[in-house]
Structure 1
């Protein structure tokens, strides 16, 4: 895991010098603050759960087992609320597919907020790490500012154009 994680880096917008002043003091926060480095530690863990979003866990009652793991990775912003019994509640990192950042950015513009499926999903994982391709950074940055949630955005150190360039 060390070699793979060495290729990731936090997005520049989360450096302390860009944080609202209230995040750097004990004052009441007026704007969302980026999560601390301790909330998104990537490293070695004894147990890990990687949870997809295909619905195969419906009716499984695996939620408690998933939440009991040391680190929980979710794939592509699945719905958690209402499904906790089957898919758990905890999330440490969410891996986004190539199309999700664009859909997030589009949904963040919807005037009718009830049509936006992503707002509640982002609320469920607020304060965790998002892993996305480097090319999706502009879409995510715009969308996450509109949603007003805090995430650590991790991107690949370079853009992967071919499947063969991704280290299995």
Structure 2
């Protein structure tokens, strides 16, 4: 892919990439950084782009990897911060609910979390998700179902929802 084609693709998909990154990462600055890092990585690897894939599929895949790396880093930092806050009292209900949602989402395997965001935030089809992640459509469906079940169980307080 030449520079001009890459620039057109980046411009065309930047807003959609941002939406997915924001849904995965939960804050504007991190989402903007993730999109920028994903586009830089994609630009550096543009010579390896395989035209058999849609450009959007390739960019979503790069973005998904960048977001998963960020979520891994956050999880490590969050554990340390949570240990410090464990004794704190007087949390507002909205904060507790947000923390509950974050914990429930953290219980969902990262691949399923990415698929959930791409499916329900960006509206991608099962086939598109399969192409982005390099897995079969049936695997996409099972990971989505498992992710939703874990999320539902965690939010309803029915246990951890995991095996």
TM-score normalised by structure 1 residue count: 0.23
The structure with the largest alpha-carbon Rg is: 2
The structure with the greater share of residues assigned to strand is 1
TM-score, structure 2 length as denominator? 0.23
